[in-house]
Chain A
Amino acid sequence: MTDPGVASYLDRLRAASRELPPSRREELVAEIRAHIDAASSARGADGPAAIRNILDRLGPPEEIAAAALSERHSHSAYPEPGPRHRGLSVRDLAAVLLLPFGGLIFLVGWFVGVVLLWTSEDWTVRHKVIGTLVLPFGVVFPLALGALPGPGQPAWLGASIFLALLAAPIISAGWLASRAHASRRPRELQWA
């Protein structure tokens, strides 16, 4: 038997948590329902007054739904340093490898790297701009240039420019790899 007060309480909870994914919403409703059942059998009284008291202690359904929504995006103040919080995701790793070297795959690989870079949430816009501009097509540009004979150019100068251009995209990719997730850290350190 479901108390009408409980039914309308759960309806309000369901309505207030519309923005949760359906599976998460049903799980939350089931947990609150189980709490009400456990509380009413623990007190050995499931009269209307006892039920009202249980619902009062649970708090407004809207408040529970709001907590569920905000918890979805928060993390523990003491995150376990593990692969989930530190290190690169597979996507980020692909971006970091494709930016310098993807151009060697018929130039297309570099574009894929750029898309992965810009669609990732682990870098700020500043990182993304630098990652894109240093250097377009990665090592392809210096490799193609280095193959050309430099007319009237001292050999050491050509070699230095070649090495610098070759190193730039690799260094920029390494820097991106070390900066991934930097944009998330402040949020994890918040208390609330």
Chain B
Amino acid sequence: MEPGNASNLAQLRRGALEFCVLALLRDEERYGFDLVRALGEVDGLVTSEGTIYPLLARLRRDGLVDTVWRESDSGPPRRYYRLSPSGKRSLAAFAEDWIRFRDGVDRLLEVGR
């Protein structure tokens, strides 16, 4: 791991990423590529798109998302993800903590200027 600020930011990004996935699934179900494309629209959130798939596998294993296979118009069936009840609770808990954390850091950064 590279030292310095880049690595600190990478650490934060990695911690927040799974909740960004859960947040994208809050209102609709999505399949893998669709999720990756939506995450890719957030600047600097994902560096290697392929690493999203192992993360999705863990969210499945931990029961934070449910999955269902659906036929697609073009090509083979796709695995769709949706938020499970436990994923919903996890997302709500994170969102609350995140807002407190973000506001606290923002306040300190403002003071420092």
Q: Considering the chains assembled together, what is the distance between the CA atoms of A42 and B33 in angstroms?
A: 10
Within A64-83, which residues are at the interface with B (CB < 8 Å)?
64, 67-68, 70-72, 74-80, 82
Q: Considering the chains assembled together, what is the distance between the CA atoms of A90 and B89 in angstroms?
A: 27
Are B75 and A192 in contact (CB-based, < 8 A)?
Answer: no
- Number of A-B contacts defined by CB within 8 Å: 98
Q: Considering the chains assembled together, what is the distance between the CA atoms of A167 and B42 in angstroms?
A: 60
Q: Considering the chains assembled together, what is the distance between the CA atoms of A43 and B47 in angstroms?
A: 20
Given A35-B53, A68-B57, A59 contacting B90 (CB threshold 8 A)? no
Q: Considering the chains assembled together, what is the distance between the CA atoms of A39 and B35 in angstroms?
A: 12
- Interface 0/1 of B73-103, CB less than 8 Å to A: 0111011000000100110011000000000
- Interface 0/1 of B25-54, CB less than 8 Å to A: 000000111001100100000011111011
Are B53 and A60 in contact (CB-based, < 8 A)?
Answer: no
**Is A63 an interface residue, CB under 8 A from the partner?**
yes
Closest to A29 in B: B53
Given A42-B33, A68-B54, A192-B14, A63 contacting B86 (CB threshold 8 A)? no
Are B57 and A71 in contact (CB-based, < 8 A)?
Answer: yes
The residue from B12, B31, B54, B75 contacting A71, defined by CB atoms under 8 A apart: B54
Within A89-140, which residues are at the interface with B (CB < 8 Å)?
none
Q: Is the interface of A mostly helix, strand, loop or mixed?
A: helix
Say which size band chain B's interface belongs to.
35 or more
Are B49 and A58 in contact (CB-based, < 8 A)?
Answer: yes
Q: Considering the chains assembled together, what is the distance between the CA atoms of A58 and B57 in angstroms?
A: 16
**Which residues of chain B are near A28, meaning CB under 8 Å?**
53-54, 57
Are B53 and A64 in contact (CB-based, < 8 A)?
Answer: yes
Are B90 and A80 in contact (CB-based, < 8 A)?
Answer: yes
**Is A24 an interface residue, CB under 8 A from the partner?**
yes
Besides A35-B33, A80-B64, 9 new A-B residue pairs in contact (Cβ under 8 A), listed by A number: A28-B54, A39-B33, A57-B40, A57-B48, A59-B47, A63-B48, A68-B53, A75-B58, A82-B86
Instruction: Provide a sorted-by-A list of 23 A–B residue pairs whose CB atoms are within 8 angstroms.
Output: A28-B53, A34-B78, A35-B33, A35-B36, A41-B74, A57-B48, A58-B49, A59-B47, A59-B51, A60-B48, A63-B48, A64-B53, A64-B54, A67-B51, A67-B55, A74-B58, A76-B18, A76-B59, A77-B15, A77-B18, A77-B94, A78-B94, A191-B11
The 4 residue pairs across chains A and B that have the minimum distance between CB atoms: A59-B48, A38-B33, A191-B15, A58-B50
